[in-house]
């Protein structure tokens, strides 16, 4: 099965991988921003509208007031913005192969790049949306804590998890077209099943066994870490530890599924 193409000596395989990944990531971002006048605005509009809706419903209509979760808009954006990254990357992964089919058929590129470039370009959009969070934090006077350093850990965990799930979803959709719709459904379910409009502490209030089950959703731990920046009480190390293990497991499983199905995928597209 070995197809050992010796590249020109100037490239090590890792350097070649990074170079190609960067080219494709930049291509995705350029295409998105060169074809729409509002460009950057579009990538933050979705989470902003969602945040506005939930903020209105929960704080103005239901008078939600949970101690340690105010200002609610900042509390929510801390999970909603990374959710937009996860959600966007996974739904795009369902089309990773069909979108790049012509290029995949004609150019030898490590195939995992098709998923990795989606995760990277969506990740860059997420980082680019952070100033929005900063603006709301300043406007509402939310206080930043030293726990903000965990942001980096959360970023790393989310990258690993998203890549892993994308690597599972992308090849399977090639064989089972209806999986694309199933993925959309699961994502909608996950939105409510993850601590986005509520905090991770809400699980413990429902019941201990619920807290345990929810910890196996790695997004719980990841969002808990992001929130630590402004709400240190939200750091739930039990959930975070399980989330970290789960993220790595998803990644390993993703690599395995991808490698096993790669051969068949290439024949199919």
Q: Measured from the CB atom, is 102 or 209 closer to another protein? A: 102
In the complex with another protein, the residue whose CB is nearer, 13 or 207, is 13
Kindly list the residues in this chain that would bind another protein in the complex (CB under 8 A).
Answer: 1-8, 10-11, 16, 19-20, 23-24, 27, 30-31, 34-35, 102-109, 175, 260-264, 266-268
Residue 110 beta carbon to another protein: minimum distance, rounded to whole angstroms = 10
What's the DSSP call for residue 149?
A: G
In sequence order, what are the residues at sequence separation of 6 or more whose Cβ sits closer than 8 angstroms to the Cβ of residue 22? none
Contacts of 127 (CB under 8 A, 6+ apart): none
Q: Which is nearer to another protein, 89 or 104 (CB)?
A: 104
Taking the complex as a whole, the smallest distance from the CB of residue 172 to another protein amounts, in Å, to: 8
Identity of the residue, 34 or 208, whose beta carbon is nearer to another protein in the bound complex: 34
Yes or no: say if 167 and 160 are a contact pair by the CB < 8 Å rule.
Answer: no
- Minimum Å gap between C-beta 123 and another protein is 20
Per DSSP, the residues of 209-258 read HHHHHHHTSHHHHHHHHHHTTT-GGG--HHHHHHHHHHHHHHHHHHHHHH
Q: Find the DSSP H helices in the chain.
A: 13-34, 40-55, 72-93, 96-99, 101-106, 113-128, 130-140, 150-175, 179-193, 201-206, 208-215, 218-227, 237-268
Q: Which residues neighbour 34 within 8 Å (Cβ) at sequence distance 6 or greater?
A: none
Q: Of the two residues 27 and 188, which places its CB atom closer to another protein in the complex?
A: 27
User: Min. distance of Cβ 161 from another protein in angstroms?
Assistant: 22
Q: Nearest distance from residue 100's CB to another protein, in Å? A: 9
Q: Report how far apart, in Å, the C-alpha atoms of 99 and of each of 114, 121, 122 are.
A: 9, 15, 16
Give least dist CB 46 to another protein, A.
Answer: 21
Contacts 24+ apart (CB under 8 A), 48-55: 48/132, 50/80, 51/76, 51/77, 51/80, 54/197
Task: Pick between residue 23 and residue 152 the one whose CB is nearest to another protein.
Answer: 23
The sign of the dihedral angle between the CA atoms of 103, 106, 107, 108 is positive
The residue among 177 and 205 lying less far from another protein, judged by its C-beta, is 177
What minimum distance in Å lies between the beta carbon of 210 and another protein? Answer: 31
């Amino acid at each position: 099965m070995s197809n050992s193409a010796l590249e020109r000596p100037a490239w090590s395989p890792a350097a070649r991988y990074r170079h190609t990944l960067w080219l494709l990531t930049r291509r995705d971002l350029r295409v998105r921003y060169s074809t729409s006048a509002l460009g950057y605005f579009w990538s933050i509009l979705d989470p902003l509208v969602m945040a506005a809706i939930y903020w209105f419903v929960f704080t103005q209509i239901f008078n939600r007031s949970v101690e340690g979760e105010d200002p609610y808009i900042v509390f929510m954006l801390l999970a909603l913005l990374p959710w937009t990254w996860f959600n966007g990357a996974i739904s795009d992964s369902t089309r990773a192969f069909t979108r790049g089919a012509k290029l995949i058929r004609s150019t030898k590129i490590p195939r995992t790049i098709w998923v990795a470039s989606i995760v990277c370009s969506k990740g860059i959009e997420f980082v680019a949306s952070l100033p929005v969070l900063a603006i709301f934090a300043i406007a509402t006077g939310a206080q930043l804590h030293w726990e903000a350093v965990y942001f980096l850990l959360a970023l790393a965990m989310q990258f690993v998890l998203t890549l892993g799930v994308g690597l599972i979803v992308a090849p399977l959709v090639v064989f089972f077209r209806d999986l694309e719709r199933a993925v959309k459904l699961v994502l909608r379910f996950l939105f409510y099943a993850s601590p986005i409009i509520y905090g991770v502490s809400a699980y413990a209030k429902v019941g201990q066994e619920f807290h345990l089950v929810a910890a196996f959703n790695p997004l719980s731990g990841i969002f808990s870490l992001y929130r630590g920046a402004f709400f240190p009480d939200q750091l739930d190390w039990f959930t975070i530890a399980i989330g970290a293990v789960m993220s790595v497991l998803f990644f390993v499983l993703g690599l395995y599924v991808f490698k096993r199905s790669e051969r068949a995928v290439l024949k199919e597209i």
